Amino acid sequence: MSKQNHTVLLVDDSEDDRFFMRRSLSEDPRLNVVWEACNGEEAIAYLSGQEPFHDRGKYPYPKMLILDLKMPRKTGYDVLEWLRAKSQDLIVIVASGSFLPEDVARSFSLGARAYHKKSALKEEQDLILRDIERLLESCNGK
């Protein structure tokens, strides 16, 4: 992966799942979690720069979004649809408790670049981290 830092917005309603993902991401010092949103509504507010996220110095626009699907208020699907309508330039990785084929297919059809089943297992988290690094490398090569 390049030496530049990459900002990450982490969106999941589970505090435990955010903890495990944050711990995994912290293994690569180039990945910087800029905010953790608890639902899709907060994620859209952050991404669109709505109050209280209007100050991009304090709340920078992320390079990557790690997104759960099943959340209160607005789901991960709602966020993906919003991103697609806005043509936002953002790498989206879905990390979900579901591995149903229809969830995977719908996520990819809405613009997700990768899909992973959430896990507390270190080996599974390492796979997600390697995929993140691969996606960032491929985007930097463009």
Instruction: Say how far apart CA 85 and CA 99 lie, in whole Å.
Output: 25
Q: What CATH number is attached to the domain comprising 30?
A: 3.40.50.2300
For 120, the token pair is: 């507390």
Q: Give the total number of structural domains in the chain.
A: 1
β-bridge mates for residue 33, sequence order: 8
Angle of CA points 37, 29, 84, to nearest 5°: 40
Average pLDDT value for residue range 77-100:
90
β-bridge mates for residue 6, sequence order: 31
- pTM assigned to the model: 0.90
Residue with more model confidence, 11 or 139: 11
Q: Range with the lowest mean pLDDT among 23-32, 102-111, 131-140?
A: 131-140
Residue with more model confidence, 128 or 81: 81
Residue 53 lies in a domain: yes
Residue 89 lies in a domain: yes
Query: pLDDT tens, 90-134?
Result: 999 999 988 899 999 999 999 999 999 887 778 888 888 888 888
Instruction: Say how far apart CA 65 and CA 3 lie, in whole Å.
Output: 19
Asked if pLDDT for residue 39 goes beyond 80, the answer is: yes
Residue 142 lies in a domain: no
Average pLDDT value for residue range 72-99:
91
β-bridge mates for residue 8, sequence order: 33, 64
Residue 101 lies in a domain: yes
Domain containing residue 38: 6-137
β-bridge mates for residue 9, sequence order: 35, 65
